[in-house]
Amino acid sequence: MADPLRLLSRLVLFACLTLLLAAPASAATVRVLTVQGAIGPASADYLLRGIKKANDDQAHLIVIEMDTPGGLDTSMRDIIKAILASPVPVATYVSPQGARAASAGTYILYASHIAAMAPATNLGAATPVELAPGGQPGTPEKPAAPGKPDAQKPAEPPAGDPKMRKAVHDAAAYIRGLAELRGRNVEWAERAVREAVSLPASEALELKVIDLVAADLDDLLKQLDGRTIKMDGQTVTLDTARATIERVTPDWRSRLLAVIGDPSIAYILMLLGIYGLIYEFSNPGMLFPGVVGGICLLLGLFALQVMPISYAGLALMILGIVLMISEAFIPSFGALGLGGIIAFVIGSVMLIDTDVPGYGIPWALIVPLAATSALFSFFVVGMAIKARARPVVTGAEEMIGAAGEILGDMEQEGWAHIHGEQWRVRSNVPLKRGSRVRVRARRDLILDVEPCGPLPNPPPLAGEGTKAEPKAT
């Protein structure tokens, strides 16, 4: 019995091996993430969640297609941390043709395991411009041909105040560390920070700033096939020839963050919130302006708290709104209103404290909103305040202050004719018939009244006449 069992087990093992060898190898998966525009909280959230999802699904490669003029430092560093911690190789590809990876994009390109660019693209200008006085990122770029000593020599520290020098030194050290980690051109990386130099794709490949130039995504995957990458002390060989490409588009959350994360949208949301609450406080019980205003204000503040805002600019904006509204309470012949408009405009210009492209509030938005705010404050709020000061014309409260006439002599309680109706009234002083009274309170169906004006002479009683005075002769 042993021989047949041994033979059967061998046949089963042989069949399993045959099936395993005959089965087609599972295709590698390449996740493609796309970033266009300024690097901010929305794009950082999209990339962080995309990289995490690719790691959880054990993708073979992550490709970040990028076209950016730069972005916020905090968002950039969050993206770089995710790339450095990713167990899946990350290739950053500057595309399509004509795209750029300026400022923050250069740091992300240096941090990636593979740096690639399409023809007619460029990178560089990595100086932290948001801290540069007057918008000058550093010393002017000196023209130098690639390969010459000047092109490889690190620049001298830029002139400027200590805050700027500190920021530039920190950025230079940061990008040098990334360049040393990936084995790329360290000297040019430092020049990109200190002198804001830029390079086209062809020269970047010659200077070993990037790893390859690819015409499109398919060409990129063909060139990466069989390439080895060192990750955490291990060598990984890429197999991208038969890879399955999966593009990850931004979901509703990323799109929402992209919308409210725009400085102009956040600016509008904040103003809508402030004016909605002002209108609600001026007319309690409206509810709709208060609800909408509260939601808009919270969304605007959420968007602004992840941006480099100037608190002085925010304070000037609030002061301007307060002054414009005060014009409706305290007529100052336009002094408060004009001062409010000036403070509002200056605060709007100062609100976003950065020169990063795509993170500013344009004049084309500030001027119309300033004019609209002034009109809203002078007319809408003024009308609401005047309407609130008008006497009540309906309901029980309308009786307060109403005038009437006593129908008969009374000590404490009696009847009066008020608003065409007969009411039971009560008074602290005796009143004669025909006396004019004013309502000062209402208690159920009894009105508390008080005299208003002099008491009239009582009419003569029946049967009585007046004695004629003797005439003078």
For residues 441-466, b (16+ Cβ closer than 10 Å) or e, as one string? eeeeeebebebeeeeeeeeeeeeeee
**Do 145 and 239 share a structural domain?**
yes
Long-range contacts at 266-269 (CB < 8 A, ≥ 24 apart): 266/299, 266/300, 266/303, 266/304, 266/307, 267/300, 267/348, 267/351, 267/361, 267/365, 267/369, 268/300, 268/365, 268/369, 269/296, 269/297, 269/299, 269/300, 269/303
In a domain, 344, yes or no: yes
Instruction: Name the residue among 169, 186, 168 with its Cα closest to residue 177.
Output: 186
pLDDT on residue 353: 66
pTM, full prediction: 0.63
Q: Write phi, then psi, for 87 (nearest 5 degrees).
A: -75, -10
**Do 299 and 239 share a structural domain?**
no
Those residues whose C-beta lies under 8 Å from the C-beta of residue 356, and which sit 6 or more positions away, are 38, 69, 70, 71, 72, 103, 129, 130
**Do 428 and 343 share a structural domain?**
no
In a domain, 42, yes or no: yes
> For position 230, which CATH number holds?
3.90.226.10
Rounded Cα distance between 298 and 295, Å, is 5
**Do 84 and 217 share a structural domain?**
yes
**Do 194 and 174 share a structural domain?**
yes
> For position 436, which CATH number holds?
2.40.50.140
**Do 246 and 381 share a structural domain?**
no
What is the token pair recorded at 228?
């080895």
DSSP state letter for 377: I
Which of 196, 220, 254 terminates a domain? The answer is: 254
What is the token pair recorded at 231?
């990750």
In a domain, 294, yes or no: yes
**Do 224 and 209 share a structural domain?**
yes
In a domain, 469, yes or no: no
**Do 191 and 82 share a structural domain?**
yes
In a domain, 457, yes or no: no
**Do 50 and 35 share a structural domain?**
yes
pLDDT on residue 354: 62
In a domain, 322, yes or no: yes
Give me the domain span that covers residue 293.
Answer: 261-389
One-letter amino acid of 360:
G
pLDDT on residue 381: 58
pLDDT on residue 254: 79
Which of 254, 269, 303 terminates a domain? The answer is: 254
In a domain, 341, yes or no: yes
**Do 62 and 165 share a structural domain?**
yes
**Do 286 and 226 share a structural domain?**
no
Instruction: Name the residue among 132, 135, 133, 138 with its Cα closest to residue 154.
Output: 138
In a domain, 178, yes or no: yes
- Taking the CA of residue 13 as centre, how many other CA atoms within 13 Å lie in the half-sphere pointing to its CB? 6
Those residues whose C-beta lies under 8 Å from the C-beta of residue 157, and which sit 6 or more positions away, are 165, 168, 169, 194
Which of 339, 362, 389 terminates a domain? The answer is: 389
Domain count, the chain: 3
pLDDT tens for each residue of the chain, 473 residues long: 456 666 666 666 666 666 555 444 446 899 999 999 888 888 899 999 999 999 999 999 999 999 999 888 888 999 999 999 999 999 999 999 999 999 999 999 999 999 999 999 999 988 886 433 333 444 434 444 444 434 444 444 445 567 778 889 999 999 999 999 999 999 999 999 999 899 999 999 999 999 999 999 999 999 999 999 988 778 889 988 888 999 998 888 778 877 887 888 888 888 888 888 877 877 777 788 889 989 998 888 887 776 777 888 888 988 888 888 777 677 666 678 788 888 888 888 888 766 565 567 878 888 888 888 777 766 765 666 666 566 655 556 667 888 888 988 888 889 998 877 888 899 888 888 888 998 888 887 888 898 886 544 555 544 444 444 444 43
**Do 215 and 70 share a structural domain?**
yes
